Homo-oligomer: A and B are copies of this chain.
Amino acid sequence: MGHKELSFASQAAPALPGDSIDHVDTPALLVDLDAFEDNLTRVHNRVLQAGLKVRSHGKAHKSPAIAHRQLAAGATGICCQKVSEAEIFVQAGIQDILITNQIVGLRKVARVAALAAHAKIAICVDHPLQVEQIGDAASKQGSHLDVLIEVDIGHQRCGISNAHQAIDLARTIEQYSPHLRFAGIHAFRGSAQHMRLPQERAAAVSSAVEKVRGIIRELEASDFHCDIVTGGGTGTYMLEASSSLYTEVQPGSYVLMDTDYAANTPAADSPPLRHALFGLCTVISVQAGHAVLDGGLKAFAVDHGLPRLQLPGWSVQTLSDEHTVIVPEVGAAPVHVGDKVRLIPSHCDPTVNLHDWLIAYRGQTVQEAWPVSARGALF
């Protein structure tokens, strides 16, 4: 029935090192290496100078090539959100991973416990059942894991909410299995990252720090020591870094950026990061009053709004599964079938997750094609 002998380029990279960026096949994601490296160096230096560790979040880029650059720039390790993501990063040689999530289900805990035999793995919990599942799996596997208690600092998603719960859970961690170690607190608030004004973000982090500090005080009073206090993202990392409480921060989007993060007003002492991630599309149809690009909802996530077109006088009107319709202002220069145009994604994480490749370039030349190895790693 099949043509097993046939082999097509279906999964090949849209460009190779040395190609001109004009020859990248579309729709593709480009990474401007100058901007990427600026962002990487600036954020890491600020955090390291403040005396904290950087644990870059791999969920934003899903690419071991980027993780290795983050480690080379001083990151302690990376964060993942999924067990299967962590597997892919460990396989690529990353040795220190925090899974910033609750891991529930016997298949998943068995995989985490197996992974912990090959790398330093930490996970988060907010319920005794999670501790029991991972404890049983680690005992069976003979591996050891660090366990962080997640505290809800206003995100209203996962996390315990008071010291009483924290002490009970720390006790469960310490008593349930000698394969688990209570290592500290995970306190991250996604919604704080996107508050537009610096004073809003400062107030959110300040209130989080107060809450976490109170919980830690009571944990210490019950002889549970918090080695690690981790959290903070691209929008707030310097607030956590100057809190005298957090020991590490977890920025993810900072190396790539997107229009949603760029819409934040930066703090006075914090120049804005640069857009390093761009969608590249080809104009495939030109009509009276609009033109059509060859990438749509399967190339750009729209949960944080439409991608922003970088073409003077033109803007994005709508996206459908495979197309983006763009429209001109009066007097805009015409576009032509075959033209290539760039768009800045509105939300980098789910956009990168739609692509198998990131095309890293400098100037006009492709330097590397980075596989998005953990693309679609959902489990």
Contact = CB atoms under 8 A, between A and B. Distances in A.
B321 A25 contact: no
A282 B105 contact: yes
Nearest to A324: B157
Given A2-B91, A8-B90, A93-B2, A325 B156 contact: yes
B91 A8 contact: yes
A354 B337 contact: no
A173 B124 CA distance: 61
Nearest to A15: B107
B321 A349 contact: yes
B157 A298 contact: no
A84 interface: yes
Contacts of A1: 68, 92-93
Contact of A320 (B85, B190, B282): B190
Copies in the complex: 2
A8 B325 contact: no
Interface residues of A, number: 88
A25 B107 contact: yes
A102 interface: yes
A299 interface: yes
Contact of A126 (B92, B285, B323): B285
B129 A337 contact: yes
Nearest to A85: B10
Contacts of A135: none
A274 interface: no
A35 interface: no
Contact of A87 (B8, B282, B320, B354): B8
A277 B95 CA distance: 38
Interface stretch (A141-149, A235-243, A370-378): A370-378
A158 to B, nearest CB: 4
Contacts of A321: 59, 81, 349-350
Contacts of A308: none
Contact of A337 (B111, B127, B286, B295): B127
Interface string A290-312: 10101101110111000000000
A50 interface: no
B82 A322 contact: yes
A315 interface: no
Given A118-B3, A295-B378, A104 B25 contact: no
